[in-house]
Amino acid sequence: MHQLVGATPPRTPEVRKKELTDLAVAAGTEPRDAKKALTFVGFQKAIQDAGPHLGIEGNQAEAIWSMCSALAHGDAHNLSFLDHQVVVAQGNVSLTKLTGNISVLLRAAELSVRMLRHGFALYEKARAAT
């Protein structure tokens, strides 16, 4: 991001990695395990792990997140939970009418918002501890 906007980051990636490693060790991670602990596990695992914190199964959380992601990104291949009718198409672009069960959509959106709020609460808790 800094390169794209022509800005200088406040610290080098190496310095930031050391800061994160030091924080992980201070939180109880063995130094030899710090690199693994700081490796991004991927969105799928993060969402799966978030489910039980919301009182739902991990697979259900992932399905809901995927559904909302498909809506947000216009991913027609993952919008099978909606009825869709192509109104007009030109090349690989189409104007499509989507309809679906509003209760399902509202529940999915509500759970997604709860996931995000929970994540931000965990972030604030961790940030306050440092």
Give residue-wise pLDDT tens across range 27-83: 899 999 998 988 988 889 988 988 898 888 999 888 888 888 887 887 766 777 788
Asked if the model's pLDDT at residue 121 lies above 70, the reply is yes
Indicate the helix (H) or strand (E) that contains 84.
strand 83-90
Alpha helices in 11-57 (DSSP H): 13-26, 34-37, 43-50
pLDDT for position 85 = 86
| CB-CB contact of 94 with 86 (8 Å) | yes
- Close Cβ partners of 81 (under 8 Å, ≥ 6 residues apart): 67, 100, 104
96 and 84 Cβ atoms separated by less than 8 Å: yes
Q: Could you tell me the pTM of the whole model?
A: 0.58
Backbone angles phi, psi at 126, to 5 degrees: -65, -40
State the chain's mean pLDDT as an integer.
Answer: 86
Of 71, 13, 69, 73, the closest CA to residue 44 belongs to: 69
Amino acid at 16: R
